[in-house]
Structure 1
Amino acid sequence: MVKFGRTTVLNKKRGTFSIKKLPIPTPDSGKLVIKVEMCGVCGTDIHMWQGHEGIVVTFPAPLGHEVVGKIIALGEGVEFDNLGNAVKEGDRIVIIPLVTCGSCYACTVLQEPAKCLNASAYGHQSIETGFTGGYSEYLYTNIPNTGFLKTDIPPEIAVSLEPTSIAVSGMKRVKPKVGDTAVVQGAGAIGLCTMIVAKESGVSKIIMVGKRKMRLELAKEFGADLIIDIDEVKDPEKRIEIVKNETKNGLGVDLVFECAGIPSAFKEGLQYLRYGGKFCELGHFTDTGSIEINPCTDVCAKMATIVGSWSSLPDDFIRALQILELRKYPVEKMITHRLPLERLEDAFKAMAGDKMLDGTEIIKAVIAL
């Protein structure tokens, strides 16, 4: 008898979610099926729902790419994860959502596989592909050579592997040095994960610039050395002054990570930098607007290095997993809301609005099954 499971489907940009029943597939050779335990609600999904440009999705679509679950069926030839760990039914794994071809110009010549010309990704496909989004009871790895990692850490921690891998990807581009001072802008999931990756990369002092008391309190637990609450320090010039006063000779910080996803934060972040400092943009995976900068005073006179980081790859996931498996940081505390499939749209609306749901501020919402 054919068994069925449920998945959520977004009908169009700025549309609505519905729940659809689909037959649970028998995996083909090289593929597998997992029973989803948790899927994190990502800000990029919110932006896609809002209709922002930057990421292509074929609607109607099952979204969700921060996926952890347990294997329920293995296709022929699936024996090991990306680290060479043997896998079997019942093992907990985390899916690496972006799958690259390894042979196109971007992958081979440019050495930038995150911009693979033939890339596919979970949470970005049409409903015609079946269980390929994480806001579902099941996920089927329909894309050949899908990466995944086996882990024994609880799903409440493992569900943050994808955002932590995003932080790792950015960190590799700016190459922190031991003893560096960094500013992290934005105390959401990406900002908090960036903090712990920066700490593990040798950054000695981290200044968190953000808002919302719950998030900033958690930033302290994650190791922030100084918190600047932008609701209390409303003047950007005053914030810049506070940051520079925390640095040698008042020149500014070595690194800035923009994780807020707000265009105005980009310009302000450049003012935090010392001469020769590095700025990493980690918060804009869809188009949220433009900001004016001065090429002379903001870039050339500062001798600033500005880098963008896009998505994450298997090696980023592997490094991120090594950090999470240390269990040094209270990553599970980021989860403030555990919701059923039926409340996915509630989470989207709240995260796109005042960040409040059921009377509590959202730091991280997950669909828990």
Structure 2
Amino acid sequence: MKSTVYEGNKTFTVIEREMEAPARGEVRIKVAYVGVCGTDVHIYHGMMDKRVKTPLTIGHEMSGVVDAVGEGVSGFHIGEKVVVRPLDHRGQKPSDKGISHICEDLKFIGIDSPGAMQQYWNVPAFTLHKLGATTDLKLAALIEPLSVACHDVRMAELKAGETAVVLGGGPIGMLVAMVARQKGANVIISEVNETRIGMAREWGFTAVNPAKIDLVEFVKGETGNRLADVVFEVSGVQAAVDVMTEVAGIRGRIVMVAIHGQPKSVSLFKFFWKELKLIGARVYEPEDYEEAIALVEGGALPLERMITAVRPLHAIQQVFEDIDRQPDGMKVLMDCQV
């Protein structure tokens, strides 16, 4: 089988190695497609070298088919289509309060252990979610990031008729906007990349560039001065942190989707003055995966437009170099069987 390996120093190699039988409690998956996400790009840039133990096969946004079932596994059969929820919570402690997706010793499969950018992949059976027999495996590779969006919107307690402002129109921001609109919200996307603004508008969203217009005044005009009921901070930049408290209306909810690795300045006065709420949202829970699967299988969202390109596994080095040169795209999928 072919497997890709991140070697460090912006270098991937493709190697041949023997397939392994799944261990007890594991399932071997014939991987169909793997999406390249922002975290993978961070790994490529060396930003996670202290965490990622090279050489390592990365990747976690995937779809595939059960190829073999290890001892002690029930409920899964060869040929079934599946996706992996790449969280290993086996280090969970009583102090984690039973909330496994954010437990203290959580391991992220594809970062802390081998991932999906290979032809066959052995994973713990408890990470699997079944798909329908007719599910498009290209679209299914979007279920992991779509689950992030489902979790974010669920944590926001977003209601139909509310106004949601999404700060950042990259892949996750666009998926958050899609899920929020599906819930009946009025969605405004704030994004500085003109290509992505154009995409959002083509997909029927109201999208504006905060570098060119006053975002707060725009949202006031769209809401009759009520401002946003929910703000999703997806960009990870200080400018968005500055505006999130301004664009949120009275008793607005701000959902922190982005990962801010360093402390940021926040207008705490606005939380007092408008009785705002700040909500953290990290990865997903099983119910978010099931919602994302239902959205994919129901054809409710224009997800096919999210796929920028499909490239063969052996082109992995070129794929990451191309993303560096042209970061405007949404989602590149790796075809792991080519």
Q: TM over 0.5: same fold?
A: yes
Match of 1:92 in 2: 81
Deviation at 1:194, TM superposition (A): 0.7
Structure 2 residue 203 is the aligned partner of structure 1 residue 208: no
Q: Deviations over 1:178-226 (max 9, x none)?
A: 21110112222211211222123342x11111244553344345442x2
CA distance in 1, matches of 2:38, 2:92: 30
Match of 1:75 in 2: 70
Q: Deviations over 1:47-95 (max 9, x none)?
A: 2333436993322221100010111112234332xxxxxx422221111
- Select 1:199's aligned residue among 172, 181, 190: 181
RMSD between aligned residues: 2.4
Secondary structure of the structure 1 residue equivalent to 2:126: coil
Structure 2 residue 272 is the aligned partner of structure 1 residue 300: yes
Deviation at 1:290, TM superposition (A): 4.8
Equivalent AA in structure 2 for residue 155 of structure 1: L
Secondary structure of the structure 2 residue equivalent to 1:11: strand
Query: 1:1-369 counterparts in 2 under 5 A?
Result: 5-12=1-8, 14-52=9-47, 56-80=51-75, 87-101=76-90, 103-107=92-96, 109=97, 111-126=98-113, 132-141=114-123, 143=124, 145-151=126-132, 152-203=134-185, 205-220=186-201, 222-224=203-205, 226-230=206-210, 233-235=211-213, 238-248=214-224, 250-284=225-259, 287=261, 289-296=262-269, 298-355=270-327, 361-369=328-336
Q: Deviations over 1:137-157 (max 9, x none)?
A: 11111x463333223320221
Deviation at 1:46, TM superposition (A): 1.3
Q: Is the 8 A contact 2:163 2:229 kept in 1?
A: yes
Q: 1:100 to 1:303 in 2, by over 3 A?
A: same
How many residues align structurally? 335
Q: 1:279 to 1:36 in 2, by over 3 A?
A: same
CA distance in 2, matches of 1:199, 1:160: 18
CA distance in 2, matches of 1:24, 1:193: 35
Deviation at 1:116, TM superposition (A): 1.5
Deviation at 1:353, TM superposition (A): 4.9
Secondary structure of the structure 2 residue equivalent to 1:23: coil
Q: Deviations over 1:236-294 (max 9, x none)?
A: xx12211121113x13110011222333222222221001101112122x62x554223
How many percent identity over aligned positions?
A: 27
Q: 1:338 to 1:15 in 2, by over 3 A?
A: same
TM-score, length basis structure 2:
0.90
Secondary structure of the structure 2 residue equivalent to 1:166: helix
In structure 2, the gaps of 5 or more residues are none
CA distance in 2, matches of 1:210, 1:54: 29
Q: Is the 8 A contact 1:10 1:61 kept in 2?
A: yes
CA distance in 2, matches of 1:208, 1:269: 13
CA distance in 2, matches of 1:350, 1:252: 39
Q: Deviations over 1:94-125 (max 9, x none)?
A: 11111223851354x2x432222232332123
Equivalent AA in structure 2 for residue 292 of structure 1: S
Deviation at 1:161, TM superposition (A): 0.4
Q: 1:8 to 1:89 in 2, by over 3 A?
A: same
CA distance in 2, matches of 1:118, 1:31: 20
In structure 1, the gaps of 5 or more residues are 81-86, 127-131, 356-360
Q: Is the 8 A contact 2:34 2:59 kept in 1?
A: yes
CA distance in 2, matches of 1:15, 1:144: 32
CA distance in 2, matches of 1:222, 1:112: 36
Q: 1:103 to 1:189 in 2, by over 3 A?
A: same
CA distance in 1, matches of 2:72, 2:298: 31
Q: 1:364 to 1:314 in 2, by over 3 A?
A: same
CA distance in 2, matches of 1:353, 1:264: 24
Q: Which runs of 4+ in 1 moved over 6 A?
A: none
TM-score, length basis structure 1:
0.83
